[in-house]
Amino acid sequence: MFLDAVPELRPYSTTRFPSPAMNTALRFLSLLVLLTITASPLAKADDTEKLLGTWKGRGFEVEGAVQITFKANGVFDLTFEDKDVPIQTSGTYVADTSSLPWKLTIVIKPPDGDTTTAKTVMALLSDKQLLIQKSGPDAPSPTRFTKDSVILDRVP
């Protein structure tokens, strides 16, 4: 047809909309929205009871898995494997859930008698996943999550 031979006279555009560059940008934006929705904490302020229970994961400074059980009375039990030797200890914790991210202070009382205090932040990603920012003993409390954060899974 004559109109197809002369691009200026075509009544419609043959360019695709959205363009490939626009498609890429839209996909990226969709991915960011999805990540924001899935990464936003499930729990709201003052949901302390959602912390209670047993959580397990890897990524701390020990070779094996870490398992921590938060109890309603402010006590926790901690079990981890270090060089294939299971180590058990306990301590106390205080969770400040009045704002997000939650603030957690734990005091570990190992059998050797040296008490260690650690402060960190945490957030529930779902009913089955807890995000905790790694923090060193007696270090100042972090205020946000970094690449050093660890995800723990709820143990049924």
Q: How confident is the model at residue 19 (pLDDT cuts 50, 70, 90)?
A: low
Q: If we measure between CA atoms, which residue out of 109, 61, 57, 62 comes closest to residue 81?
A: 62
Residues 113-141: pLDDT tens digits? 788 899 999 999 998 999 999 888 888 88
CATH 2.40.128.280 given to domain 48-154 = yes
Q: What is the mean pLDDT of the chain?
A: 76
Q: Report residue 149 CA to chain centroid gap.
A: 6
Res 88 pLDDT > 60? yes
pLDDT score, position 74: 94
Question: What beta strand segments (E) does 21-112 contain?
Answer: 53-57, 66-70, 75-82, 85-96, 102-108
Contacts within 8 Å (CB) and 24+ apart, 26-29: none
Res 31 pLDDT > 50? no
Distance, in Å, from the CA atom of 53 to the CA atom of 6, rounded to the nearest integer, reads: 72
Q: Is the pTM of this model over 0.75?
A: no
